[in-house]
Structure 1
Amino acid sequence: MDDDSRTRRWERWQARAALPLGIASLLYLAGYAVHVLVPDLPPAAHDVLKVITGAAWAVFVVDYAVHWRLSGRGLGFVTRHWLDTLVMLLPLLWPLRIVRLYDVVRRRRGGARLTLHARVMLYAGLSTALLGFSGALAVYQVERAAPHATIRTFGDSVWWTCSTLSTVGYGDMAPVTALGRVIAVGMMACGLALLGVITGSFSSLLLRRFAGDADEEGPPGG
């Protein structure tokens, strides 16, 4: 199979898989949220929720395997597409695929296309909200019953997540478990990256706007 044929098949698969992947992400996030926030459900209900989240993971694995097969790169695909590999392996990042679902729905409805800077800020904002919610759920799940924990309620977890993603870090709450601290490190890294994207895009937008105003005014004394 030549490179052009691989590229066409890759693009066709991405177009077809975007909606199922987005729906799987929504189901995973909803199932995981109910499992964590409503622990008093009957065991059978929690088993159903685990099946839902497991099925969502299976969808992500199938999508990754198809992309790997279409790439024709063998093990080189893993390193070349390391971000896709990371997203597939870390459940905390699965809800980020919902951002693609938003893009699919907008295109099918024929919505107006946003400018590049607006799209970057919108997608970064959506990613921050989704990552923050899933991160808050994960930290709450591992911290709420830990000895000497300071994050006891979901509200505490949301507060800690907001301060962590915004890089403020008040220090009034912090994970005490090993897994909670691993999640915290990932949240810090993602927060720095997403904050940099948003502020960089906003700054670039302002510079372009001010440069355009200066061009309209013309040179001094003109």
Structure 2
Amino acid sequence: MAEGDKRATAHRRHRHGRGETARTRRWEAATYWPLTVIAFLFLVAYTFQVIGDLQGAWRVATLTVIRLAWVVFAVDYLVRLILSSPRPRWFRTHLFDLAVVLIPALRPVRLLGALTRITSFTRTAGSSLRAKLLIYGTGAALLLIWQTALVVLEAERRAPGASIRSFGDALWWAFCTVTTVGYGDYVPVTAAGRTFAVLLMVGGVVLVGLIVASFSSWVVERATRGHAEQQPATRADVDRIIAALNARPGDTPPHPR
């Protein structure tokens, strides 16, 4: 069996093990980009609503977009659950999809997946994975800062004794918090603001670590370039060597990637 066929077979087995069926895959393929656009519209509507402190007809318009986005994501989740088999396995392996429905702030994360799809990384499997991790890490950090700034501003701007009263203040505070600088010039005073501050601290530590690890991996690859004999073999390399050793005379050896 060709290497590409083996990878495709392994991918199908993996997805089947997650409870996904041919119908769920067709549904996901058909709805991927529409849901991505809706996630973007949700982020834009929520941003305008909070920064502009909208009232009247404009607030009704942004709230309509936000609520329609929730309905669409909820329907998408239910349809995929109904089309899956077995459903309990799909439910257990797609808890993040449920979180996206329940937590509106997670919906824009879908934009990061779209970015990795439209960006081409074709040099090596390692560089492709590293580039995707870097995009997810950097993009998730920026989304986390932006979303948290919006939520905290909405919670703090009218609270007694609050120091965060504009989006500029909230954004500055979010950057200081996620990088663990913590100047202390702006501090949330509400329970909601402090709760999101804790989430921002935890998420910031994880995401900054991911970015640093990806950058370190890139530096190591650059430093070892030209020293192929010192590079570690992957599991796929070992499998190809074993297959070549076990091949009978006259068999076609596996083609390298």
TM range (shorter): 0.7 to 0.9
The percent identity for this pair of structures is 37
Q: Give the letter for the 2:120 counterpart.
A: A
Select which of 172, 187, 202 maps to 1:174: 187
Cα gap change, 1:174 to 1:77, in 2 (>3 Å)? farther
Paired with 1:88 and 1:66, the residues of 2 have a C-alpha distance of 13
Select which of 109, 121, 124 maps to 1:113: 121
Equivalences, count? 210
Contact residue 140 and residue 151 of structure 1 kept, 8 A: yes
Contact residue 153 and residue 167 of structure 2 kept, 8 A: yes
Partner in structure 1 of residue 60 of structure 2: 47
Contact residue 120 and residue 201 of structure 1 kept, 8 A: yes
Indicate the SS of the match to 1:171.
coil
1:23-42 matched pairs, under 5 angstroms: 23-39=37-53, 41-42=54-55
C-alpha displacement of 1:195: 1.3
Paired with 1:174 and 1:78, the residues of 2 have a C-alpha distance of 39
Runs of 4 or more above 6 Å deviation: none
The alignment's TM-score, normalised by the length of structure 2, stands at: 0.73
Paired with 2:192 and 2:40, the residues of 1 have a C-alpha distance of 24
Structure 2: runs of 5 or more not aligned? 1-15, 123-127, 231-257
C-alpha displacement of 1:74: 4.1
Q: Give the letter for the 2:56 counterpart.
A: P
Paired with 1:179 and 1:77, the residues of 2 have a C-alpha distance of 33
Partner in structure 2 of residue 192 of structure 1: 205
C-alpha displacement of 1:94: 1.5
Higher Cα Rg, which structure: 2
C-alpha displacement of 1:113: 2.7
1:16 counterpart = 2:24: no
Select which of 91, 97, 104 maps to 1:91: 104
Cα gap change, 1:178 to 1:79, in 2 (>3 Å)? farther
Indicate the SS of the match to 1:83.
helix
Q: Give the letter for the 1:96 counterpart.
A: V
Contact residue 116 and residue 132 of structure 2 kept, 8 A: no
Indicate the SS of the match to 2:161.
coil
Paired with 1:50 and 1:57, the residues of 2 have a C-alpha distance of 11
Cα gap change, 1:177 to 1:19, in 2 (>3 Å)? same
Structure 1: runs of 5 or more not aligned? 218-222
Q: Give CA deviations for 1:95-126 in whole Å, capped at 9, x if unaligned.
A: 1112233345x1xxxx5335221221122212
Q: Give CA deviations for 1:12-62 in whole Å, capped at 9, x if unaligned.
A: 2222222111111111111111111112x4512211110110001111112
Paired with 2:22 and 2:45, the residues of 1 have a C-alpha distance of 35
The alignment's TM-score, normalised by the length of structure 1, stands at: 0.83
